[in-house]
Amino acid sequence: MHYGPYKKSMALVAITVSGTFFAISAQAVDFNQCVAMALKQNPQILAAKAEQAEAKGAVSQARGHLLPKLNASFSASQSNNALTVFGMKLSQRQATFNDFGASQFNLNPPNYNVAPTGLNLPGSYHNYGTKLQLEIPIWNGGEVWGRLSQAHAMLEAAQSGNVMARQKLTFAVLQAYDSVIAAESAIQVAQKAQKAAESYVKTSKLLLDKGVLVKSDWLAAEVNLEKTQLAVQTAENDHANALENLAILIGWPEEKTLSVGKPVQPALPDHSLLDLQRQAITENAGIVALRHKLKAAQDGIQVARAAYLPHVNAMANQEWNGSSLGNAAPSYTVGGEVTWNVLDFSRGGGIDRAQAEREQAMAALQEAQDKLRLQVAEVWRSAREAALRVKMRRLAVQQMEESQRLVRLRYENGVETITGLLHGQAELDQSRAELVSADYAEAVQRAALLLAIGKLNPQEIVDVAPVSVVEGAS
C-alpha cells in the first residue's frame, strides 16, 4: 500500500473550526494493538468463547457417566405400619420372638388362629438410617462412549468456530483500520487539490489585472476553490466516521482521541489457484467446524443404536440403621444388574432421526465446501486484478501530474483556457482518489483471500512504507 506519511506513537489531529486551527494530542495505535483490543471485548468473540466453554462442560459431563457414582443419604422415620415397623426392627437387628406374638402362643392346645398383637399392632416405632451407595457402570451398549465422542467432536467444532470468529474479526479490524488510513490519504488528496485551486485563483487574478483573462475566468477559479474546500470537509467527515467505526470495533474509550499507526498490507499467497482451494478445504476453520459436526452426527447414530443392546451395571451399598443416632447396626448389599429392552418400537425413530441429522450435516459440509471453492477463486482473481489496478492507477497519477504541469504553464502564458486547466486538475484529483481506493481494495482482497484459506492472522499482515499518493506537481 502507498498511503500518505504521518507521525506515529503520539499524533496530532488537526481540526479547523471557523477558520481557527486546533491541534489535539491523540494516542496512535497500530494494527496489532487494534486486533488485541477487539478480541477482548467483541461480542462475537465472547459468544464463541462461551460456546467453547459450554462444549468443554459437555465433555466433562459425558466423561462423568463413565465413572462410578457414590451417593450418601441420611433418613429419620417413624411409623406404626406393621410391615414397616417389622422391617425397621430387622434392619436394626432388634427383632425378637415376641414380635411374632410368642407370649400369646399356647402349645397345649396350639392356638394357631390367635392374631399376635405385637406383630399386627406394633405401635409407633422410629428408625435413623445412614446409607452409602456406590453405582458402577460396566457397559451401556456403547451409549456413554458414543456421547463422549460426540461431545469431543462438538468441542473441536466450537474451538474451530472460535478460530473462525477471530479471523473474521481480524478481517473486520483490517477493513476499519485501513479505511482510516485511506481516509487520511483522501484528506491529503483533497488538501492538495485545494492548494492547487488557491494557486489558480491567485494566478487568475494576476492575469485578470493584466487584461489577459476575463472576469468570468477568475470567477470560475473561485468556484473551483469553493468545490475543493467542500471536498476537504467531506474527506474530513469520512475520516471522522472511519475513526468512529474503528473505535467502536476495538472498544476505544470515548474520552480519548484515536489515531492509527502505520499502514498495513496482508501478504499475498504465492500459490496456484488449485493449491489455494485445496488448502482452504483443509484449513478453513469454518469447514473444519462443519467436519467435526458431521463426526458428532455420526456418533449420534451409535448412541441411538445402544438402545437395542443390553446394559450392565453393578452396585454396592453400606447401611447403618438404629433406633437412636448412637446405636446403629451395619449391613451391606452388593449386586449386579443386566437390563435389556427387548421390545420398544420408539427406538427405530431415534436411529432414523440420527441418520437424518448425519445426512443434513453431510449436505451442509458439501455446500460450504462448494461455496468456499468459488469464493477462493473469486477473491484470488480479485486480488490479482487489484494489484494490477494499483499499478495502473499509480502510472496514471504520474502521467496526469506531468500533463497538468504543462497545462498550467500554458495557462500562465495565456495559451490555455481556465476550462482546460480546471478540467485537467479535476482528472488529476480523480486519479489520485482512485489510487487511494485501489490501494484499499487491494488490501481488503488480499485479506479476504487469507480468510478464505484459513490463514488470516496478524502475523500475515505487515507494515508497509508510507509513500505519499500526492507527490509531484499539483
pLDDT tens digit sequence for 133-182: 999 988 887 888 888 999 999 999 999 999 999 999 999 999 999 999 99
Q: Is the pLDDT of residue 211 over 80?
A: no
Residue 29 grid coordinates:
495505535
Q: Tell me what pLDDT residue 469 has.
A: 55
Q: Which range marks the domain in which residue 431 is found?
A: 10-62+144-303+348-463
Instruction: Evaluate whether residue 473 is within a structural domain.
Output: no
Residue 8 confidence class, pLDDT cut points 50, 70, 90: very low
User: Residue 58 falls within a domain, yes or no?
Assistant: yes
CB 284 within 8 A of CB 454: yes
| Segment 270-296 mean pLDDT | 94
Residues 76 and 210 in one domain: no
Which pLDDT belongs to residue 465?
59
Same domain, 154 and 189: yes
296, 298, 301, 306 alpha-carbon torsion, rounded to 10°: -70
- Residue 210: phi, psi to the nearest 5? -85, -5
What's the N-to-C CA distance of the chain in angstroms? 22
Asked whether the predicted pLDDT for residue 21 surpasses 60, the reply is no
Torsion sign (Cα): 184, 188, 189, 190: positive
Which of 70-74, 106-110, 114-118, 221-225 is predicted least confidently?
106-110
Nearest in space to 67 (alpha carbons), one of 311, 313, 301, 306: 313
Which of 53-62, 366-375, 427-436, 464-473 has the largest mean confidence?
366-375
Lowest-pLDDT range of 58-62, 166-170, 395-399, 467-471: 467-471
- The answer to whether position 385 is within a domain reads yes
Helix or strand or coil: residue 356?
helix
Q: For residue 225, is pLDDT > 70?
A: yes
13-22, 96-105, 178-187, 446-455: least confidently modelled range: 13-22
pLDDT classification of 10: cutoffs 50, 70, 90: very low
pTM: 0.76
Q: Determine how many CB atoms are found less than 10 A away from the CB of residue 282.
A: 12
Q: Please give the mean pLDDT across all residues of the chain.
A: 86
Residue carrying C-alpha cell 487568475: 204
Q: Mapped to the 3 state alphabet, what secondary structure does 87-108 carry?
A: HHHHHCCCCCHHHHCHHHCCEC
| pLDDT attached to residue 470 | 52
Pair (241, 99) in one structural domain: no
Residues 266 and 403 in one domain: yes
- pLDDT value at residue 25: 46
For residues 277 and 407, membership in a common domain is answered with: yes
pLDDT of residue 7: 39
Task: Please give the pLDDT value at position 208.
Answer: 81
State how many domains the chain has.
Answer: 2
Give yes or no: residues 157 and 255 share one domain: yes
Q: What percent of the chain has pLDDT over 90?
A: 48
pLDDT at 340 over 90: no
Residues 362 and 373 in one domain: yes
Same domain, 135 and 160: no
Instruction: Give me the mean pLDDT over the 124-128 stretch.
Output: 92
**Range 239-264 average pLDDT:** 91
Is the pLDDT at 105 greater than 80? The verdict is no
* CATH number of residue 109's parent domain: 2.20.200
Q: What is the pLDDT, as a whole number, of residue 283?
A: 93
